[in-house]
Structure 1
Amino acid sequence: MRVAITGATGYVGRFFVARALTDGHRVTALTRHAPGGPVDHLPYDLGAAPPELSGTDLLVHTAFAHIPGRYRGGEGDDPDGFLAANLDGTRRLFDAAARAGVPRVAFLSSRAVFDGLPPGADLPEGCAPDPKSLYGQAKLTAERHLSALPLRGWSLRATGVFGLEPRDLPRATPPAWQKWRDVLTEAFSGRAPAPRRGTEVHGADLAGALARLVAAGAPAGPVHVSDILLDTRELVGTAARVAGREAALPATSDAPVSAMTCETLVGLGWAPDGRARLEMEMPALLTAYGLV
């Protein structure tokens, strides 16, 4: 199968590249610059016309323009530019895929399509979206544009993504996974981080979810992708145990969390293992952050 992936050198995109290559597919990176390595390349930018996509069996759209480190609020002081790139650019890409006869498109959407609902709300796949942030609104509008096109389109409503980036693949510079660096550095310095908890999914499990959808020929539509509820106390405790060091533990968070349920994927036999992956990858993470 020929798989084209936007954002292929970015953090989340590289998990999709790795999985597609593992499954024996031919991968084309749709990126500004040729990444090299075991993939083909077509120049692509969210603000420009899409490349010719004829012959593509699956388009995976992960590219997203935002302030570094921020998704909600990632528009900064330029909401018009944010929408021009991420919404207008995405719609152009989806339209180009439909014109080229691409049969399947996977869009990296977000749990943010529900961020207008009160904390602690149940989020089954039949829950009506209610985005408050511009990020969530853009994702939902793009989802609806995809659903109206004559192709099989899956909108992957992913929660927070974690995991060490796949090795031996081209990546953006600097390495993208920095989400827990400050928290762990603070804890190992003797200051307890603020209590927090939230839902997470490992990037490899996210890519595996798409592989399940493709293999099963699953119906088009939104698909929830979520795994563990992770408390910062648990994260810091795991890191301290692995490192054999003292760390300042925050209090357990009692904040309500709106967790998505993943009916479609569970029905296809998807079985993510985020806690095991977190434990397995923690030594490498601590080494990368200079904490061991």
Structure 2
Amino acid sequence: MHVLLTGASGVVGRFVLKRLLDDGCRVTILGRRPVEGFETGFCAYDLADLDPQLPPADALVHCALVHAPGKFRGGEGDDPEQFTRLNVDGTRRLFEAACKAGCRAIVFLSSRAVYGDHRRGETFSEADVPTPDTLYGDVKLAGEQALEGLCGPGLNGIVLRATGVYGVSPGLADHKWSGLFKEFAAGVPIEPRKATEVHGEDLAAAVALVLKKTGVLGAPFQVYNVSDLLLDRQELLALYATEAGLSFDGPAASAATPGEMMTDRLRALGWVPGGRDRLKTFVHSLARRGGAGT
């Protein structure tokens, strides 16, 4: 299978890129520059392109997002209009170009943000009506709608609504908790927090799975939640302290519980995330490297 991939240089995109290559896919990166260390094709591309010209391919996986560095919610910075224009209009043009390039499947990396951050303590199902309350959530929902409008005979669209992604991406050193672990080890007070998480390899496995199942999923447009753990910082830092040989003086358990996404639909296809065993393996690997993973 020949797959076009956007966002390949990013944290999530690198996980997806490695998995696709490991599965024997031919991958062409769509972006500003190739990603070093991977054997892929390359096609210059930017979400600002008004008329993207893509090479013929079987499928597109869209992971790219124009945003302020290090931010998704709040990633519009000081220019929400440009953030919306690039990510909504650019995504729509990309999907249309992929259709012209012969793609019969498009996988769009969306977000749990489409459900809204106001739904604390609730359970989210793919059948729920999205109610985003951030511009980031609005933009992701608009991308979903653009894809749905193109689906039909000849094109299958798959949306993966992913939660926060942890793990060290292939080719990178830092990870989402690098700063947190450093501050904890230095004795900096840590605020309580609870969040949902999924390892990048498990998210990449979901991408590979839905691509493999394309054509037998039923309706031409499908939505799947991708989440694995409800994780309190207290638990995470206690685990890190044990593995790194540190005394634990961390935060109290968080009193606020975020909403959790049901993942039954994806699991029914055969998706099996790593759970707490994978989390423990990840933290143990950081401790063996002698630090927070940087």
Q: TM-score, normalised by structure 1?
A: 0.91
- Please say which of residues 181-190 and 39-48 is displaced more in the overlay: 181-190
**Per-residue deviation, residues 109-137 of structure 1 (Å, max 9, x unmatched):** 00000115431122011111001100000
Residue in 2 that maps onto 1:94: 95
Compared with structure 1, are the counterparts of its residues 289 and 30 closer, same or farther at alpha carbon in structure 2 (3 Å cutoff)?
farther
Kindly indicate whether residue 167 of structure 2 is the aligned counterpart of residue 163 of structure 1.
yes
Q: Work out whether residues 71 and 135 of structure 1, in 8 Å CA contact, stay in contact via their aligned partners in 2.
A: yes
Q: Work out whether residues 181 and 292 of structure 2, in 8 Å CA contact, stay in contact via their aligned partners in 1.
A: no
Compared with structure 1, are the counterparts of its residues 78 and 106 closer, same or farther at alpha carbon in structure 2 (3 Å cutoff)?
same
Unaligned runs of 5+ in 2: none
SS in 2 for 1:52: coil
Residue in 2 that maps onto 1:19: 19
- Quick one: which amino acid aligns to residue 138 of structure 1? V
Shift of 1:191: 3.4
Residue in 2 that maps onto 1:183: 180
CA distance, structure 2, for counterparts of residue 58 and residue 139 of structure 1: 20
CA distance, structure 2, for counterparts of residue 259 and residue 66 of structure 1: 25
**Per-residue deviation, residues 123-172 of structure 1 (Å, max 9, x unmatched):** 011111001100000110110110010311111100001111124xxx6x
- Quick one: which amino acid aligns to residue 180 of structure 2? V
Unaligned runs of 5+ in 1: none
Compared with structure 1, are the counterparts of its residues 194 and 117 closer, same or farther at alpha carbon in structure 2 (3 Å cutoff)?
closer
SS in 2 for 1:145: helix
Compared with structure 1, are the counterparts of its residues 237 and 103 closer, same or farther at alpha carbon in structure 2 (3 Å cutoff)?
same
Compared with structure 1, are the counterparts of its residues 22 and 194 closer, same or farther at alpha carbon in structure 2 (3 Å cutoff)?
same
CA distance, structure 1, for counterparts of residue 262 and residue 35 of structure 2: 36
Percent identity over the alignment is 44
- Please say which of residues 106-115 and 190-199 is displaced more in the overlay: 190-199
Kindly indicate whether residue 30 of structure 2 is the aligned counterpart of residue 30 of structure 1.
yes
Residue in 1 that maps onto 2:224: 223
Q: Work out whether residues 113 and 132 of structure 2, in 8 Å CA contact, stay in contact via their aligned partners in 1.
A: yes
- Quick one: which amino acid aligns to residue 195 of structure 1? P
Residue in 1 that maps onto 2:109: 108
SS in 2 for 1:277: helix
Q: How does 1:106-255 map to 2 (within 5 A)?
A: 106-115=107-116, 117-150=118-151, 151-167=155-171, 175=173, 177-217=174-214, 218-219=217-218, 220-255=221-256
Shift of 1:256: 2.2
Compared with structure 1, are the counterparts of its residues 288 and 43 closer, same or farther at alpha carbon in structure 2 (3 Å cutoff)?
farther
- Quick one: which amino acid aligns to residue 203 of structure 2? L
Q: Work out whether residues 168 and 175 of structure 2, in 8 Å CA contact, stay in contact via their aligned partners in 1.
A: no
Shift of 1:49: 3.7
- Root-mean-square deviation over aligned CA pairs: 1.9
Shift of 1:279: 1.6
**Per-residue deviation, residues 230-283 of structure 1 (Å, max 9, x unmatched):** 110111011111111223221011212200001221111211014222222224
Q: Work out whether residues 132 and 138 of structure 2, in 8 Å CA contact, stay in contact via their aligned partners in 1.
A: yes
Q: Which runs of 4+ in 1 moved over 6 A?
A: none
SS in 2 for 1:278: helix
- Quick one: which amino acid aligns to residue 22 of structure 2? T
- Quick one: which amino acid aligns to residue 78 of structure 1? D
Shift of 1:51: 4.1
Shift of 1:284: 4.1
Compared with structure 1, are the counterparts of its residues 2 and 50 closer, same or farther at alpha carbon in structure 2 (3 Å cutoff)?
farther
Compared with structure 1, are the counterparts of its residues 145 and 290 closer, same or farther at alpha carbon in structure 2 (3 Å cutoff)?
closer
Residue in 1 that maps onto 2:259: 258
Shift of 1:50: 5.4
Compared with structure 1, are the counterparts of its residues 288 and 158 closer, same or farther at alpha carbon in structure 2 (3 Å cutoff)?
farther
Shift of 1:182: 2.6
Aligned length: 285
SS in 1 for 2:157: strand
CA distance, structure 1, for counterparts of residue 79 and residue 269 of structure 2: 41
Q: Work out whether residues 43 and 51 of structure 1, in 8 Å CA contact, stay in contact via their aligned partners in 2.
A: no
SS in 1 for 2:124: coil
SS in 2 for 1:200: strand
